[in-house]
A = this chain, B = another copy of it.
Amino acid sequence: MTEKNILPPLTQIPAHLQTIADYEIEAEKHLSSMVWDYLQGGSMDEVSVRDNLQQFQDIQLLPRMLKDLTHGGTEIEILGQKFPHPIFLAPIGHQQQFHPEAEAASALAAEVMGSNMILSTFSNTDMRALKQDNPLKWFQLYWQGDREKSLALVKMAEAHHYTALVITVDSPHTGIRDRERHAFFHLPEGMQHPHTPTHIPLPELKEGDHPVFHGLMKIAPTWDDIAWIVQQTHLPVILKGIVHPQDAQLAMQHGVKGLIISNHGGRVLDTCISPLLALQLIKKVVPVDFPLLYDGGIRRGSDIFKAIALGASAVLIGRPYIYGLATAGALGVAHVIKILKEEFEITMALMGTATVTDIQPECLFSGIE
């Protein structure tokens, strides 16, 4: 096998990059095989990775014609905060793997394009480096093994004007990622994470202990920890990774202000319920204005439209913006957001929906059956 020739990031956007699929093809040329496998791969047989994409193709749009759309726009509001459009950047760690400017580049693109940036705990960029007076930034927390260490990060996020706290709850154990393991994936030697160690220290096991149940599970957060955090911060707390309607109800009872419905991009639990299904289950049990964000498989503007029609307040994109980052840094991320935003606007126009609140279940064939 010959060594792969890795291209440096581009400094301008070539004309043939027109869709997220184009960026996916391009990005691979700018990454090592190991990093590419890390980015693209998912848990076990990657059924969920594929299903996250397939589910959108199976939903049929039912457009209305001849409506007056001249007052149209893409603005939304969540928990009192206004956003110019519903395309948010999902929390993704270790972005230095994809581009030397890492999360700083993604954040810059988000700022320019009016996207809400959700910064990962595993960021290589210090959360204090993001533009202070841009309110379109949320902080994502991975539980730090105990309450005090976790709270310290929350307080730093508060101090630096992050406007919401996203706690990821679906991965107390890392997924079994065949593709990653076959590539013997590891983070680069000496990679800096300003806010967290790469691995939280585990409790010592006694003989006969299960490494899973008496190890990792001892440092995983529980509902009590969520309730405690909610009381310690004025930031609205949003849970990422809830897919069960009973957990959605528990979240509300524990003071949580919103949910991100996600199967973690198919990277944790293979054959997990598809997030569009979970969204519909959860939509039925929460108040109509309770924020439900959607994460998973968005590749086209019409996917955004469908997620919103099924109940989402906004959507997160993950791999798509990393394709942009790997291809051309901040410029690439900005272009990826622009592509999706334009596709979303054109879809709105073709569907006869002037505003995001006009996007309802009745816009889908499934909604009138």
Q: What 1/0 flags go to A242-270 for Cβ under 8 Å of B?
A: 11111100100000000000000000111
Tell me whether B60 and A213 are in contact (CB under 8 A): no
Contacts of A113 in B (CB 8 A): none
Given contacts A243-B63, A277-B60, contact A212 B348 (CB under 8 A): yes
A221 to chain B, nearest CB (A): 6
Tell me whether B273 and A61 are in contact (CB under 8 A): yes
A282 to chain B, nearest CB (A): 11
Contacts of A268 in B (CB 8 A): 350
Contacts of A300 in B (CB 8 A): 44-45, 270
Contacts of A155 in B (CB 8 A): none
Q: Which of A158-180 contact B (CB under 8 A)?
A: 169-173, 175-176, 178
Q: Which of A202-228 contact B (CB under 8 A)?
A: 210-214, 216-218, 220-223, 225-226
Report how many copies the assembly holds: 4
Tell me whether B181 and A18 are in contact (CB under 8 A): yes
Tell me whether B345 and A222 are in contact (CB under 8 A): no
Residue from B19, B69, B214, B269 within 8 A of A213 (CB atoms): B69
Interface residue A272 (Cβ < 8 Å from any Cβ of B): yes
Interface residue A234 (Cβ < 8 Å from any Cβ of B): no
Given contacts A69-B217, A70-B213, A213-B70, contact A349 B173 (CB under 8 A): yes
The dominant DSSP class at the A interface is loop
Query: How far does the alpha carbon of A10 sit from the alpha carbon of B347 in the complex, in Å?
Result: 41
Interface residue A15 (Cβ < 8 Å from any Cβ of B): yes
Query: How far does the alpha carbon of A267 sit from the alpha carbon of B65 in the complex, in Å?
Result: 16
Contacts of A72 in B (CB 8 A): 210, 212-214, 217
Query: How far does the alpha carbon of A268 sit from the alpha carbon of B210 in the complex, in Å?
Result: 39
Which chain B residue lies CB-closest to A350?
Answer: B269
Contacts of A244 in B (CB 8 A): 62-65
Interface residues of chain A, those whose CB is within 8 Å of chain B, are 15-16, 18-19, 21, 44-45, 47, 56-57, 59-74, 169-173, 175-176, 178, 181-182, 184, 210-214, 216-218, 220-223, 225-226, 239, 241-247, 250, 268-274, 277-278, 281, 300-302, 342-343, 345-351, 354, 365, 368
Q: List 20 A-B contacts (CB under 8 A).
A: A16-B182, A18-B182, A44-B302, A60-B274, A62-B244, A62-B273, A63-B243, A64-B247, A66-B221, A67-B222, A68-B222, A69-B217, A70-B217, A72-B214, A173-B350, A212-B348, A217-B349, A268-B350, A269-B351, A270-B302
6 closest A-B pairs by beta carbon, nearest first, are A72-B213, A69-B217, A212-B345, A65-B169, A60-B273, A269-B350
